[in-house]
Amino acid sequence: MTNSPPPDPRSSRTPLGFDEFLAVVLALAALGGILFWSLSRSGKGFQIPNILPLVTAPEARSPVALTPQPQASPDPRAVAPAPIPSPVPEAIAPETPVTPARQPVTPIPIVPLPTTPTTPASPAPAPQVKFQDVPADYWAYPFITALAERGIVNGFPGGYYKPTDPVTRAEFAAILQEAFNQLPGVDNQTKYQDVPDTFWGVPAINRAIQTGFLRGYPDNTFQPQQEIPKAQVLVSLASGLNLAPPALPEQVLKELYVDADQIPNYARERIAAATTAGLVVNYPETKQLNPNIPATRADVAASVYQALVRAGRLDPIQSPYIAGVKQQ
């Protein structure tokens, strides 16, 4: 038995016959008729340009300038992507504050070169004024010494005070100027016919008048060299301190002084005021005023000291010769 080769698949395809070809042509013609009919129904007719566009030469185009388009502003509603946090190094707290408090600069002491040690000198005590004629047991010793240490009264050459010497009106004005220099005064100057401008006591006299301690006489004289009576000393101090008289001045004078009737009329109320204020110091008898005799340097020192006590500038001194009762 002989094996024949398999038939060729291409040899099994039969070519189209005439009938089949005609059927294909008719089908295509029918389709073309239907297409033609459809186009004619649309009102445009069957136009070749409507089906196939004419091929024309391309138009020359002018170059178009490129205009940069504005960038669209970001939409605020858009949610920006959350930034990725970069790692933060761990802060190390400093041991001391960043801004330290300003400390005061202590100056560096200069160390002196070593020397032989010496004992530091103690402050010198205030010099105590001593007068040869004013012993410690003298009745006016505490008054005179206290005023002399403060420069209110002065002594004479040789270390003498001369406590029993009388005081003139000019000298008394000088003592008042030193004792009450802090008191305000009226800025006026009175010219007295017996006080020339070259007189040594003119500044003190003017000051005593301005502060109300002294006055001149009605005849426009001051009588600077006149020895001042004790009554005038007490009237002057009471006037300068503006002391008010007691309610019954006459009773005070008659009860305290055996010579009250010798007190001048102009001085009675002022001496009563000075008495109740503790300004009167009588030696050796407290009841013996002696208003019309010249006041001694010891008398003036004692009364001026008591006036300073009254003014609150000095401490009281215990003395058995202070007359009267101090006004409370």
Residue 27 lies in a domain: no
Distance (Å, rounded) from C-alpha 255 to C-alpha 287?
9
Tell me what pLDDT residue 185 has: 57
CA distance 207 to 202: 9
- pTM equals 0.61
Which SS3 state, helix, strand or coil, does residue 179 take? Answer: helix
| Dihedral Cα 284, 290, 295, 299, nearest 10 deg | 30
Residue 322 lies in a domain: no
- Decide which of 204 and 4 is more confident: 204
Average pLDDT over residues 304-326: 91
pLDDT in tens, 195-253: 999 999 999 999 999 999 999 999 999 999 999 999 999 999 999 999 999 999 999 99
Please indicate, yes or no, if residue 53 is contained in any of the structural domains: no
The label of the residue with tokens 């000393």 reads: 233
Distance CA 315, CA 113 (A): 48
Count of residues making up the chain: 328
Sign of CA dihedral 22, 24, 27, 29: negative
Q: Is residue 272 part of a domain?
A: yes
When mean pLDDT is compared across 22-26, 41-45, 200-204, 257-261, the lowest value belongs to 41-45
Report whether pLDDT(47) > 70: no
Q: What is the pLDDT of residue 204?
A: 94
Range of the domain at 184: 165-310
**In 3-state terms, what secondary structure has residue 166?**
strand
Encoded tokens for 190: 């009175």
Decide if 48 is inside a domain: no
Rounded CA separation 153/304 (Å): 10
Asked, for residue 275, whether it belongs to a domain, the answer is yes
Q: pLDDT digits over 89-123, tens only? A: 444 444 544 454 555 544 444 444 444 444 444 44
Name the CA radius of gyration of the chain, rounded: 68
Contact yes or no for 264/239 (Cβ under 8 A)? no
pLDDT at 24: 81
Instruction: Give the pair of three-digit tokens for residue 51.
Output: 């089906």
- On whether residue 71 sits in a domain, the answer given is no
- Summarised one tens digit per residue, pLDDT across range 156-167 is 999 999 999 999
DSSP state of 224: T
> How many domains would you assign to the chain?
1
Asked whether residue 125 is domain-assigned, the answer is no
Q: Give 272's DSSP letter.
A: H
pLDDT class of 27 with cuts at 50, 70, 90 = confident
